[in-house]
Structure 1
Amino acid sequence: MRLLAVLLLCCSSAMPAIARTTQSERAAQDKKPDPQKKICKRQQVTGSYFTTRECHTKAEWDQMAEDARAASVRQRSAIRSSFGGN
């Protein structure tokens, strides 16, 4: 009986903390990033120990990622076709 009381006490004290966490997570999910906000990233330059800083909007970063993905797909399909694969 004493163990049950201790378990109930522990669980009931942890519930408000769990509720606060989920409320803050919901608030973070509700905020959508501003597509015009500049995002700066450090890029490693091939053949150099130095990094460069590139700043673009989220939309521009997304477009560059999509372009890189599409170029990779085109390159892979070109290699497959040159070897007679499907």
Structure 2
Amino acid sequence: MQRLLAATSLNPVNGEMNMRKLKLLVVFAISAPALSVVPAAADNGSQDGDRMICKYRQQTGTRFKTKICKTAAQWEAMAEEHRNALKQIVDLPQIKVCGPNGCD
């Protein structure tokens, strides 16, 4: 009877070992595509600014993300616009001093 239990996965010790092996197999199966190396595209004279970059953005009111694709130059221009807008907001005076005749 002991040999039969030892040979089957009904044995708790052997069952734990099989479960551990199964978990490792699942982890390796899931991580294998992530570890694969994608070869770099051949540079056919295209500049870095022409490269397409896709990002996922969360939209308000939904749990789904939207995929937005732009060139690297467009993403950089948009980031520069956002930095300038933020700088203008930060540089605004926070306290407005009014004279005896009111605010102008």
Taking structure 2 as the reference length, the TM-score comes to 0.44
Q: Which stretches of structure 1, 4 residues or more, deviate above 3 A after TM superposition? A: none
- Which runs of 5 or more residues in structure 2 are unaligned? 1-42, 97-104
The alpha-carbon deviation at position 45 of structure 1 amounts to 1.2
* In the alignment, structure 1 residue 56 sits paired with structure 2 residue 79: no
- Which runs of 5 or more residues in structure 1 are unaligned? 1-30
* In the alignment, structure 1 residue 82 sits paired with structure 2 residue 90: no
Number of residues of Structure 1 aligned to a counterpart in Structure 2: 52
Work out the percentage of aligned pairs sharing the same amino acid.
Answer: 35
Higher relative contact order (CA 8 A, sep 6+): 1
Tell me what 1:10 maps to: none
Give a deviation string over 1:18-51, Cα, whole Å, max 9, x none.
xxxxxxxxxxxxx9x6211111000111232111
Root-mean-square deviation (CA), in Å? 2.2
Which of the pair has more CA radius of gyration?
2
Taking structure 1 as the reference length, the TM-score comes to 0.52
